[in-house]
Homo-oligomer: A and B are copies of this chain.
Amino acid sequence: MKIMHHMTRADFEKAQDNVVVLPVGSTEQHGPHLPLGVDSYIARGISEILSERTGAIVAPTLTYGYKSKPLSGGGPLFKGTIDLNGKTLIDLVYDILCEFARDGYNKIFINNAHFENQAFIEEAMDLACQAFPKLKVVQSNWWDVLDNDTVNKVFSDVPFPGWAFEHAAITETSLMLFLKPELVRKNLIPEDVKAKALPYSVYPARKEMVPECGALAPSKGSSAEKGKLIVDKAIEGFLKIFKDEFNV
């Protein structure tokens, strides 16, 4: 496993041809049972396993992300959700990508675990690739690479509410039970949660748009085993991306 912040400069130079994995998370409320760092821990945990499997370098995690939205993350009205403006996230990711490119690291994989980040990360990717023509950057996340079979296995106890509502719900709870079980308050796992979807967004946010507990779907049936299954499948998907895009 190659953790960039553990490596000396010489270690880093030796890995010049390796893929760099940039985990991106958030600081966001995750219901009564999960800690504020869920997205960051998941992004980081899966990135480390990916590093073990491929020798990719894990860059320091971005632990603050774009604004949580009510119907995918609970939104700004819950305390503990510390968000960046869109332009700030664009600049932050842009600067980091450019710096890796200046050092000659041209294969970057952004492992994003906070849905709301995606558009701003991609804007940064576009701008950085315009500035550094040799640079190639891929962005993915653990949920987009899962196959239907895996989804069906995970959602054996509760219906699949759609990915937007999988906030502080069965997938994130299971992932945390596998990756960081000591941070899950098992006795506080909410079982009956029901958020109502809206086919639109509205600002300013209203408290009543989100279940009071801050989760958007039930966590019933969450388990470390399901977490491991998700991680295994995500890794499988990421390895295919590495092969297709970075030829490693």
A interface residue numbers (CB < 8 A to B): 4-10, 12-13, 16, 27, 29-37, 40-41, 59-61, 63-64, 67, 69, 76, 78-88, 90-92, 94-96, 99-100, 102-104, 116, 118-120, 122-123, 125-130, 133, 136-140, 144-145, 183, 185, 188, 199-204, 214, 237, 241, 245
Contacts and interface: CB of A to CB of B under 8 A. Distances in A.
* This chain: copies in complex: 6
B122 A103 contact: no
The 4 A-B pairs with the shortest beta carbon distances in the complex, nearest first, are A5-B37, A119-B119, A140-B200, A60-B63
11 contacts: A8-B29, A8-B33, A8-B188, A9-B80, A64-B96, A79-B104, A85-B91, A88-B91, A119-B119, A138-B200, A200-B241
Given A36-B4, A86-B120, A88-B95, A79 B13 contact: yes
Nearest to A139: B201
A9 B29 contact: yes
A184 to B, nearest CB: 10
A56 to B, nearest CB: 15
Contacts of A35: 5-8
Contacts of A81: 99, 103
